[in-house]
Structure 1
Amino acid sequence: MPAAASRTGTPPPGELDLDRVRRDTPGAADQVFLDSAGSSLPPSPVLETVIAHLRREARVGGYRAANERAADLTAIPETIGKLINAPADAIALSDSASRAWTDFGYAVPLTAGDRLLFSTSEYASNAIALLHRAKSSGASVEPIPADATGRIDLDALNRMLDERVRLISVVHAPTNGGLINPVREVADLAHQVGALVLLDACQTTGQLPLDVAALDVDALSATGRKWLRGPRGTGFLYVRPELIAELEPAGLDLHSATWTDDADYTLAAGARRFEFWECDVAARLGLGVAVQYLLDLGPDLVYRAIAALAARLRAGLAELPRVQLRDLGVEQSGIVSFTVTGVDPDQVRDRLRDAQITVTVSRASSTRLDMRRRGLPAVVRASPHCFVTSDDVDRFCRTVARM
C-alpha cells in the first residue's frame, strides 16, 4: 500500500506535506483522532482567524469588525466555488448542512400528488423534512430500493420515475459507513422526467472530488465542520444558476430580499436569496480559511491521503476475528464502520477514548431504513483525515484487537 503522506523533509511532487499538516493540527499530537465525519480538528489558521475576529469584535464591535473584513467575506463563495466548480453567485452561505438542505428543499414548489424520492441511506434530518413537506402539501415520500451492494438501485429508480416526481434527495455518502452513491447516474435518470436532484454532500465535501457541473445536480448542501475542517455553525448551499430565479425561499429577510414598495419586495439575485443577514462572522471567516487551506494543500492529495488511510484501517480491522466491517458499496469513502462481537459500540468508543483514540457511534436513528434493513442498532465509526498517520491507524487497530 502506498504511503498516505511523507513525514521527512520536503515531500516529493505529488505527495501531501504531512509535516505541515501535523504542525498545523496540534490537537493530533497527543491522540489518534478518527472522527472527522463528526467534527474534525481545525488547522491552526482557522482557529487563529476565528479567535482574532472575536477579539476584534470585543474591541470595536461586531459591525465595524465585519466591515473591516467585508472583502474577505465577499470572497468566501468564490473560494468555495473553486472547490466544487461553481460560480460564486450560485453559492449561499449557511450555518449547517441541514439548514442548507432544507433551504432548498422547502423552496421547491409542491402540490397534491407530487412525489418525493430518497435513498435508503438517507440522513434522518432530510427524511423528516421530506415527510414534513409531504404532510403539508399532499405529496408522497418514497424510498428508492438499494441494490445488492447497498447503493441506489438505478434500475429500480428508473421504474419509479414519472412526471409526478418533483425532487430526488441523494446522500452522496451516508453518515453510518463508507458507501458512495452513483450521483451522476441518478441525475441523468431524474432529468429525463424533469425531476430535481438535491445532493447531500455533508460527508463528502473535503474528502472526495466534487464537481457540480460533472455531477449535474440541481443543488448541493454541505457543512464546514467535517472534512473541510472549518468551524461548527457553518455550511453552504449550491443551486444550479439557471434554476435560482424559479425558486422563492421559505424564509426571507432584508438580506435575501429588498423591501421595494409598501406592499412588495424584490428577491436578491443569485443564491444570496437563501441567506439571512445575521450570521456568525468569525465562523464564516474561518470557513473561508478552511476551504483555502484545502485548496493550498492540494485537494487531490488530501483526498488520496484519506483514501489510503481508510483502506489501511479497513485492512487492519479485517484481520481481527471478532470485528465485522459494516461498510457497503463498490467504491468507499473515508468513513469506516464496524462492530466488535460481544462488545457494545458505546463500550468500544469509550475504551478507545481511554486509550486517547477518538471515534464515535452512529445509531439507527440517523439512518433508519438502512440500519433497520441490516438489523444494526449502532455501529462504531472511524474517519481518518489527512493529519492522521499510518502509525496512528496501526495503533488504533492494535487497541481494537485487545478488546
Structure 2
Amino acid sequence: MSPLQVQHLREATPGCQSGIVHFNHAGASLPSQATLDAIIDQLQREARDGPMEAGEQGAVLVEKARRAAGQLLNAPASSIAFASSGSTAWSMAFQALGPWQPGDRILVGRHEWGGNLASMELAVQAGARVEVIPCDASGAACPVALEAMLDAKVKLIDLTWLPANGGLINPAQAIGDVARRHTIPYFIDAGQAVGQLPVDVQALQCDVLKSAGRKHLRGPRGTALLYIRPEFLQHLNPAQRDVFSAPWTAEGFDLRNDARRFETSEVSFALLAGLGNALHEINQLGIERVWQRVLQTSARIREALRQIPGISLHDLGNTHSGLIAFNLAGWDSFELKQCLGSKRINIGANGVAYTPLDMQARGLTSIARISVSPLNTDDEIELLVKALRELKG
C-alpha cells in the first residue's frame, strides 16, 4: 500500500483523527465513517418507518453482507451465517455436531481459544476426551503428529489458526489436508485471521470456520461470520431453532438447507449493515494488499522491540502475524496496558484464560499484545517505542 492509500484510509476513519494511537486491532479495530453511517442509516430508517417495516430494506443489506463475506472467503453466499459473536457462532456449530458419546475424541491445537474449550465441556461431561495435537519444533500444531493420533474415535479436529496470545500462524491448510484425507470434521477458529490475511475456505478444506466482525474486518461489535461447507450441513442439527431457521411448511417445521439454519428471526439489521460495509471495504482494498502492509508494519515493530532492554517477545512459528506478544521486565501486562492507555496508546493484554493450554505449557501468566492494521503509521510506531523505552525502568 502506498502512503497516499494509507492516508486515505486514515482520513476515512474517525478513530485516526482522535489523537489516540491504536495498536489493539486484534481486540477491536477502528471502523470507517462509512461503516458508522451504514449503521446509523438503518437505525434512522427504523425510527422513521417503524422497526419492523424497515426490516425489508434491512434484509436486503444483510444479503449484500452475505455476498461480500462469501467473496472474501471464496465461498458461496448460501454457506455464510451471521451471529452475535465469534464464540456464539463456534459454539452453535459445535453443539450441532452432537450427541457426544463416551470415548469420542476431539483433537485441538495447543493454542486453542479458551472460549472454544469452554464450549467443549458439555461433550466432556458426556464422556468425550479433548486431546492436544503435539507441536513441531517451531511451536506450531504438527500435521504429521496429528495424523499419527487418528483412529475411528476421532470425531472432530479443531484448530485456532492465529492464536490470541502471539504471532503464530498455524498450518491450517496442512491440517485440512489430513482431515479431508481421513474424512474427519474440521473446524477452524479464524477470529484473528479473517480481515488480516487471505482466507480461502476451499483451499483450507474446512467444514466450519468462524470469525468476529469487530477485529481485523473493522466491523461493529456484536457481529460475526460463520461458514459452513454446504456438503457438511446435513451433519449439523442445531438445538436453537425458530420460525426463521426452521420455517413452517406443509409437512411441519423444516430446517433451512443453507447456513441460515444457524440464524434467528431477531437480528440487528443496523449492525449487519455496518458489517456489510466493512466487508465491502476490505474486498475493495484487497486482502493481499492488507496482509503485505500488516507484515511490513509488524516486522518493523518486532525489530524495534528487540532493541529495548527488558522486553521479551513470545512469538512461535516461522512466519508471524500482526499480533505481537511480549512482556516488559518489572511490569504486569495489564498494568502496562493501563499505563500506555493513560498516554493515549492502546494495546491489549491477555491472561491464561484466553489460551490456557499454551500459556500453561510455556509458563506464561499474562502477555501484553500489540496488534497492527494498515491504519498504523511509522509515526505511531515511534510513539509506541518511545513510550516503552521510557517505562523500561
Give the TM-score normalised by structure 1. Answer: 0.94
Supply the AA of the counterpart residue of 1:52. Answer: D
Q: Does the CA-based 8 Å contact 1:161-1:190 persist in structure 2?
A: no
1:357-398 residue CA offsets vs partner (Å, 9 max, x unmatched): 100101111111111111111010111111111111121111
Q: Give 3-state SS (helix, strand or coil) of 1:286's partner.
A: helix
Q: Does the CA-based 8 Å contact 2:58-2:269 persist in structure 1?
A: no
Name segments (4+ residues, structure 1) moved above 4 Å.
none
Deviates more, 1:82-91 or 1:350-359: 350-359
Which residues of 2 match residues 68-217 of structure 1 at below 5 A?
Answer: 68-109=57-98, 110-136=100-126, 138-217=127-206
Cα distance between partner residues in 1 of 2:247 and 2:42:
29
Q: Does the CA-based 8 Å contact 1:310-1:384 persist in structure 2?
A: yes
Matching residue of 2:379: 391
Q: Give 3-state SS (helix, strand or coil) of 1:324's partner.
A: strand
Q: Give 3-state SS (helix, strand or coil) of 2:144's partner.
A: helix
1:376 aligns with 2:364: yes
Q: Does the CA-based 8 Å contact 1:314-1:336 persist in structure 2?
A: yes
Alpha-carbon distance, 1:261 to partner: 5.7
Give the CA RMSD over aligned residues: 1.4
Change (3 A) 1:19 1:253: same
Supply the AA of the counterpart residue of 1:6. Answer: S
1:243 aligns with 2:242: no
Give the TM-score normalised by structure 2. Answer: 0.96
Q: Give 3-state SS (helix, strand or coil) of 2:173's partner.
A: helix
Supply the AA of the counterpart residue of 2:118. Answer: I
Supply the AA of the counterpart residue of 1:148. Answer: A
Q: Give 3-state SS (helix, strand or coil) of 1:365's partner.
A: helix
Which residues of 2 match residues 3-402 of structure 1 at below 5 A?
Answer: 5-8=1-4, 17-29=5-17, 30-109=19-98, 110-136=100-126, 138-260=127-249, 264-402=252-390
Supply the AA of the counterpart residue of 1:185. Answer: A
Matching residue of 1:13: none
Supply the AA of the counterpart residue of 1:27. Answer: G
Q: Give 3-state SS (helix, strand or coil) of 1:257's partner.
A: coil
Cα distance between partner residues in 2 of 1:306 and 1:330:
16
Alpha-carbon distance, 1:300 to partner: 1.3
Cα distance between partner residues in 2 of 1:214 and 1:153:
18
1:283-335 residue CA offsets vs partner (Å, 9 max, x unmatched): 01100000001111122111111111111111110111210011111111110
Identity among equivalent pairs (%): 37
Matching residue of 1:11: none
Unaligned runs of 5+ in 1: 9-16
Supply the AA of the counterpart residue of 2:155. Answer: R
Cα distance between partner residues in 2 of 1:18 and 1:191:
40
Cα distance between partner residues in 2 of 1:261 and 1:298:
45
Cα distance between partner residues in 1 of 2:338 and 2:129:
41
Cα distance between partner residues in 2 of 1:74 and 1:349:
39
Alpha-carbon distance, 1:155 to partner: 2.6
Q: Does the CA-based 8 Å contact 2:187-2:207 persist in structure 1?
A: yes
Cα distance between partner residues in 2 of 1:135 and 1:193:
26
1:28-59 residue CA offsets vs partner (Å, 9 max, x unmatched): 23121000100111011101111221122122
Supply the AA of the counterpart residue of 2:181. Answer: Q
Supply the AA of the counterpart residue of 1:65. Answer: A
Change (3 A) 1:68 1:154: closer
Cα distance between partner residues in 2 of 1:292 and 1:129:
32
Alpha-carbon distance, 1:115 to partner: 0.9
Q: Does the CA-based 8 Å contact 1:245-1:270 persist in structure 2?
A: no
Cα distance between partner residues in 2 of 1:87 and 1:364:
37
Unaligned runs of 5+ in 2: none
Q: Does the CA-based 8 Å contact 1:316-1:394 persist in structure 2?
A: no
